[in-house]
Chain A
Amino acid sequence: MPHLLSARDDAFPALILRAEHVHHALQNHTFASSPVFAGKTIALLFYEPSTRTRVAFESAAHHLGLHPITINAQSSSIVKGESIRDTVQTLCSEGMDALVIRHPREGASEVAAHYASVPVLNAGDGSHEHPTQALTDRLTLQLAWGDLKGRKIAIVGDVAHSRVARSNVWSLTQAGMEVWLCAPPTLLPPSFAGVKTTSCLSEALEGADAVMTLRMQNERMEGGLLPGLGAYVRDYQINASNLRYANPDCLILHPGPINRGVEIDDETANSAQSLILKQVQHGLAARITALEFALNGV
């Protein structure tokens, strides 16, 4: 079954190539969907709010000639306590051809895949993974550089709770990049396979070719994990002053949504080196690719 649950999945590298192709076709207005998709229906099962991921999947579905049905947890049997298993099996019985699932719990998409009779795409499961975002980010860097091998990227922010960071670690190390994770000590895993970790921003940014900054959620401050917003901004905000450690043409990424003035300042977010809006744009090609894969097996 062509599920996409993690950026570690065997199928992931092949999806990059396809995403690049889809992107160029979209740019040239030559993208044509295969007739095999016509009339198929997919369920977008959102247990957690989302803007860009949901819109990108819906838009991708329309590009492919699919019918997307979006289900929000608040307006379904889920609020009545229905289990993932029952919801998934119900949707499969309703004739869905694929399921896209966003859930606040790590591993929820694995549970869905276990009980689904159709392919499942993970659109973010708790702090675990967000493989289509990693596909988006990889595509973005690939389009900017061509080859990622040997380049250094620093992923900065609330690494401990970031599914985007986790998926990107797999995706970007697999592409041969030198990946650094940087966060305050309380938000930094003590060790993480295949990457370097540090709480020192200048060390993480030293010679970096790209920096990806993550949204800093207010809950972290309230939960006592950080001394305060001011201290975080002072030590970890991505701005012109810190970027002097990085390569002069260092690219700026952010998976959104942005807290301007917290993890990144306005000037940097809007700068010529910022690929933040490109990432949003590339999200469409990534989701088209993922849906094609699920329904077609590529």
Chain B
Amino acid sequence: MMDRWLLKGGWVADPEMGWNGRMDARVQEGRIVEIGEHLMPELGETVIDCEGLWVLPGLIDVHVHLREPGQAYKEDLETGGHAAAAGGFTHVCCMPNTRPALDSPALLREIARRAEQVSPSRVSVVAALTVGMEGEQLCDYNALQAAGAVAFSDDAFPIQSAAVMRRAMRWCAELKMPVVTHCEDQSLTESGSMNEGIVSAMMGVKGMPAVAEDLQIARNGLLAMELGCRLHVQHLSTAMGLRLIQFFRSLENALSGEPIAERTHAYRVPLISCEASPHHLLLTDQACDQFRTEAKMNPPLRTEEDRRFLSDHLLTDIDCVATDHAPHAAFEKERAFGDAPLGIVGLETALGCILTWGLQRNQPLNALQVARLMSQQPARLFHLPGGTLKPGNPADITLINPQATWKVQPEQFRTKGRSTPFAGWELTGQTVATFVGGRRVYERA
């Protein structure tokens, strides 16, 4: 028994189909069957008045930590999946730094089975690049791909050896699988807790310099160019990091002799793509003042110069927004700054943060821009279904009220994590309902 819906009078934005206007959407048998103006209700349909709402292809977050297996006290597939749905995400990609690491086909199948049972949102796995994420032994990429891995990553344990990364990329290039990297030269960041700069100097806290990130972006970018491997750079935090990405793009275009693809509805996946997280677009290392562990994550919050450079290029050079949702238990975040773990939650605040970011810049984001950054482009980058409302596709849809103002109250989150630097913020833009495969998995009370 599948639900039948008619989403009426909303603003439909779908960059892939070139839709951007007031239209109705019909959902039957779990699929989108029709998008058009003035659709008439049919028998058995539930009509939802979407006046004033955006009707977007379901949001996709390619960077979350769901902590299963092994650290369910921080998060599990059920709580993480519900947090995703509440944040408007119909599909998330979980990172492999679990215990044990997601480096075997059996574990991937177990995650898929569990997610199917308990998570309202779709969950794909980004599998480990090396066995145990130890940065030495290559994983069985062929078997992991067959078991459903959508990409391979060293997130949280960046591969230090260029030789190992080169071998991994050589293999993944052959499989046409994206290599997803957390860029950090750890010889420069050892025992660091925040950005190295004026604020860390005043706090006496060991810093993690921006150049540690830039170095590995450069290294991984050069390797990707050499091998023709799809590289996705996670959570850019530095201005120089983005400049390097821009450089690689111009190099790619110069070498291929093709003009840079216009970013209209045809989105061409670049060889080297990148994501930005809402916290790096909204905050700087000043947020760490008074040793606030809810501002401690990796890569760390950087300077205003970095924040502004990323912001100025979000719509032109950054491929997608991803949360790096990294929940930890409250008792872990209550430790002294240097002893607290790295990471904050983000699934339930990302949409509001991004829309609020636009308002803060006096350049409110429109529905099409949000659909690109949070649905279409992440889908294409990771070869995921979705990212479009094309009839015939599974009905993964997010209804958004772009005007709604709400206060961030972590105690009301669905995630087990509570640590966010946005606690108490007034955000504008809120998920009203989330549909996955035609099922309404979240509805704002």
Contact = CB atoms under 8 A, between A and B. Distances in A.
- Real binding pair: yes
Interface string A97-123: 000000101111011000100000000
Contact of A83 (B202, B205, B331): B331
A111 to B, nearest CB: 5
Interface in B288-345: 290-291, 331, 334-339
A166 B204 contact: yes
A35 interface: no
B291 A192 contact: no
A160 B201 CA distance: 7
B292 to A, nearest CB: 9
B201 A190 contact: yes
A163 interface: yes
Interface stretch (A126-134, A149-157, A171-179): A126-134
Contacts of B2: none
Given A106-B204, A128-B204, A128-B205, A111 B338 contact: no
Contacts of B260: none
A207 interface: no
A65 interface: no
A163 B337 contact: no
A197 to B, nearest CB: 9
Contact of B201 (A107, A110, A191): A191
A145 B206 CA distance: 36
A107 B198 contact: no
Contacts of B203: 106-107, 128
B421 to A, nearest CB: 16
Interface residues of A, number: 26
Given A107-B337, A108-B336, A110-B290, A192 B198 contact: yes
Contacts of B339: 105
A80 to B, nearest CB: 15
A193 interface: yes
Contacts of A163: 204
Contacts of B198: 189-193
A105 B201 contact: no
B336 A129 contact: no
Given A83-B331, A110-B290, A166 B336 contact: no
Contact of A192 (B202, B290, B334, B335): B202
A196 interface: no
A126 B335 CA distance: 14
A193 B202 contact: yes
Given A85-B334, A111-B334, A126 B290 contact: no
Nearest to B193: A106
Interface string B102-136: 00000000000000000000000000000000000
A106 B340 CA distance: 11
A128 B206 CA distance: 10
A84 interface: yes
B338 A110 contact: no
B291 to A, nearest CB: 3
Nearest to B339: A105
Interface in A187-216: 189-193
Contact of A166 (B197, B202, B334, B337): B202
Nearest to A194: B202
A163 B206 CA distance: 13
Nearest to B206: A127
A126 B334 contact: no
A84 B335 CA distance: 7
Nearest to B207: A189
B306 to A, nearest CB: 15
Of B203, B291, B335, B336, which is in contact with the most chain A CB atoms at under 10 Å from its CB? B336
Contacts of B204: 106, 126-129, 161-163, 166
Contacts of B334: 83-85, 111, 115
Contacts of A193: 198, 202
Contacts of B201: 160, 189-192
A205 B334 CA distance: 43
A278 B216 CA distance: 51
Contact of A111 (B197, B205, B206, B335): B335
A124 to B, nearest CB: 11
B338 A105 contact: yes
A111 B202 contact: no
B186 to A, nearest CB: 15
Given A191-B198, A192-B198, A193-B198, A106 B335 contact: no
Interface in B189-205: 197-198, 201-205
Contacts of B291: 106-107, 110-111
Given A83-B331, A110-B290, A110-B291, A103 B336 contact: yes
B202 A106 contact: no
A106 B205 contact: yes
A105 B336 contact: yes
Given A189-B201, A191-B198, A83 B338 contact: no
A193 B197 CA distance: 11
Nearest to A197: B201
A129 B201 CA distance: 12
A223 to B, nearest CB: 10
A125 B339 CA distance: 13
A220 to B, nearest CB: 13
A106 B331 contact: no
Interface in B333-377: 334-339
Contacts of A115: 334
A107 B338 contact: yes
A128 B197 CA distance: 14
9 contacts: A105-B338, A107-B336, A107-B338, A111-B291, A126-B205, A128-B204, A163-B204, A190-B198, A191-B201
Interface of A: 83-85, 103, 105-108, 110-111, 115, 125-129, 160-163, 166, 189-193
Given A105-B336, A111-B291, A191-B201, 20 more contacts: A83-B331, A105-B338, A106-B291, A106-B336, A107-B203, A107-B291, A107-B337, A107-B338, A108-B336, A110-B291, A111-B334, A111-B336, A126-B336, A127-B204, A128-B204, A162-B204, A166-B202, A189-B198, A189-B201, A190-B198
